[in-house]
Every structure is written in structure tokens, then in C-alpha cells.
Structure 1
Amino acid sequence: MATLSLFTIAIPVFMLLCGLSSFVGSRKHLLSTLLSLEFIMLSIFWLMVLMVACLGGDSYFVLFFLTLAACEGALGLALLVSVVRTHGNDNFSSFMVLQC
């Protein structure tokens, strides 16, 4: 069983906090929001890999999480393409809530 140091855990947690601050702070374009969500998913994936390696568990759940993260990314890109085709850009300020 491997032991994890504080520095090893601090890197993905710092990545998670940076991704959350980017997600909350920049809401001008849909693409930057989707990129910050993918960064959050990557940091959570890294943290899960470290925890599973430390506990000596199976990595099937981590691969399942990675598959769901890839599906979430594909769905986000499809949404981005749909929004750009209907509205012409990905600015949040140009969206009308009642226009749907």
C-alpha cells in the first residue's frame, strides 16, 4: 500500500480550486466555461487515481468516471456547436432566456 504525501494531494486540490474559480469568475463565453469544467473533471480524475492507488483498489470505477467525463465533454461541444449555429456566437450576454 502506497502512502501519499501532502504535496501529492495538494496539486490536484489546487487544480480543483483553480478550475472552480475560473468557472465562477469567467462567464463571458460558453467555451471558456466548458474548458474550466473539463479542467475540474481532470483534477477530480487525478485525485481519484491517487486515492485508488493509495487504497489499493480496482481502477474500474476510475475508468468509468473517465468515460463519463469524455461523454460530458462531447455533449458540451455539441451544445456549443448548436448555440453558435442558432445565435451566431457563444457570448452569454447575447442569449435570451425566453427565446427558447
Structure 2
Amino acid sequence: MGTLDEQDIAAWALERCHAVIEQMGQELAKLHEQVSALLDKKLNSRNSPKPPSSDGPGSGGNRARRRASGRAPGVRRAGAGASRGAGVPEGFGRLYRGGNGHGRST
């Protein structure tokens, strides 16, 4: 077993410091990539906790740019299983209105 002299200890410490600096440099490069990716991402009220008023003008809330639904304005979607005339017996309207169409048969 030999003893370590000051030069051996200094060389070991220097080597260890270089290894730590290299590792920290790699971690810093990864963090720079993550920050760049986040800065490139457009943040607005839909993907951040910011209120909609902070989006500014022309931020995609324009109704004219939205895709049309294909329905007439004001028409509601029927619920599940709903259809017109479901459960109404055939000829009900004729019987209910009677002969003159006003609900009275005169």
C-alpha cells in the first residue's frame, strides 16, 4: 500500500471536478431544450391558467372562423333515442283535431 502524495490527490480532485462539470453541462443542455420548447408553444387561456380576457384581439374566438354545424340556427339536437312522432299512434292528429282541425268536431 502506497501513500498518496499531494500531486495524486490534486489530479484526482481535478478529474472529479471535470466529470461533475461535464454532467452539469449535459443537464443544462437538456433544460435549454425544454425551455425552448415551452417558449415555442403558444400559450392562451385554453392551455394555461390565464383568463380569456388576456388572449387579446384576434385570438381565435371569432365565430366566423368556426366550422358550421350543418343545422339551421336555433335548431336543437334531439336527445338519445328521440325522434319525431315517437310513441304517437298513427292517425292521432286526425282523431284529436276532429273534422275541422280546431279540436272540436262540429
On whether the aligned pair clears a TM of 0.5, the verdict is: no
TM-score of the superposed pair, with normalisation by structure 1:
0.31
Q: Which has the higher contact order (CA 8 A, sep 6+)?
A: 1
TM-score of the superposed pair, with normalisation by structure 2:
0.30
